[in-house]
Chains A and B, each alone.
Chain A
Amino acid sequence: MNDETKKDSDLADLQTAATAVGVTIVVFFVVYWAAQIQSTYELLAMAYGW
């Protein structure tokens, strides 16, 4: 494999890894914060009788 091909291959690997991990992180933390906001809302609703 020549240098140019290896460089392209490394970049493709990095971009694929970044996409896989990035999507996992975004999905996980969006779900986490949605659950936290929901539970906080329910606690406030119970406390103030909304």
Chain B
Amino acid sequence: MSTSTAMSTSPALTWGSYRRTITSVALVLIVLVFAFSSARRVVWVDLYEFFLWMETTWFGVIGKTWGAAFAVVEAFHLLAMALLGGAVFVADFRLLGWSFPDVPAQDVLDKAHKVFVVGLIVVLSTGIFMACGVAGKIYWLPVFWYKMLALMTGILFVFFIKRPLLNRDLDEIKPWVVKLVAVASLLVWITVAATGRWIGFAGS
């Protein structure tokens, strides 16, 4: 390759090579601009009709009418959160070197991820049912919106960053990046669980 050809293709090659980084940073900037602009309030006001509609769905009617049904679904929601939280703690503590040091990290991560996915599916499906039952309450709670932010961040982080990165040979990855990913993952999922519990304590 001649020098001039190499120089003309380098920038494109560099930008193309960092597609995931550019997408991630762009997404973070979009969320920040949205959070600190009037667009957030406009969207929040527009969503009111949607939350009112949620209470009129089958899920909403069942959730509001039969407390026992809501309680049973909530029990499964909490059990699934425990499953999901357990999987996150096991995987991230292994990455930090705090648990299962004798078991290969990749084994722990793969098995924990399977449990995590099952927990996440149950959490999301039961969570939608519960949200319909108390839509008129959660709409007004800032903590609910922080939970949604943390949940979306957690899901995108796991499937877009954490899994693709940790599918590689861990010896190839810088150790501090592995630890940073584990700490970020723990913070996100602890926030999801804590804010979820907080919704239960918050007044209507």
Contact = CB atoms under 8 A, between A and B. Distances in A.
A23 B13 CA distance: 26
A25 B28 CA distance: 10
A22 to B, nearest CB: 4
A11 B183 contact: no
B99 interface: no
Contacts of B18: 12-13, 16-17
Contacts of A14: 20, 161, 164-165, 168
29 contacts: A10-B17, A11-B168, A11-B172, A12-B18, A13-B17, A13-B19, A13-B20, A14-B161, A15-B173, A16-B21, A17-B18, A17-B20, A17-B23, A17-B25, A18-B161, A18-B165, A19-B177, A19-B180, A21-B28, A22-B180, A22-B181, A22-B183, A25-B153, A25-B184, A25-B188, A26-B180, A26-B183, A29-B150, A29-B188
Contacts of B21: 13, 16-17, 20
B157 interface: yes
Interface of A: 1, 9-26, 29-30, 32-33
Nearest to A30: B187
A17 B61 CA distance: 43
Q: How large is the interface on B (under 10, 10 to 19, 20 to 34, 35 or more residues)?
A: 20 to 34
B162 interface: yes
Interface of B: 13, 17-21, 23-25, 28, 146, 150, 153, 157, 161-162, 164-165, 168, 172-174, 177, 180-181, 183-184, 187-188, 191
Contacts of B165: 14-15, 18
Contacts of B188: 25, 29
B159 to A, nearest CB: 12
A1 B161 CA distance: 23
Which one of B13, B17, B19 has the highest number of Cβ atoms from chain A below 10 Å of its Cβ? Answer: B17
Contact of B187 (A1, A12, A20, A25): A25
Nearest to B19: A13
A27 to B, nearest CB: 10
Nearest to B150: A29
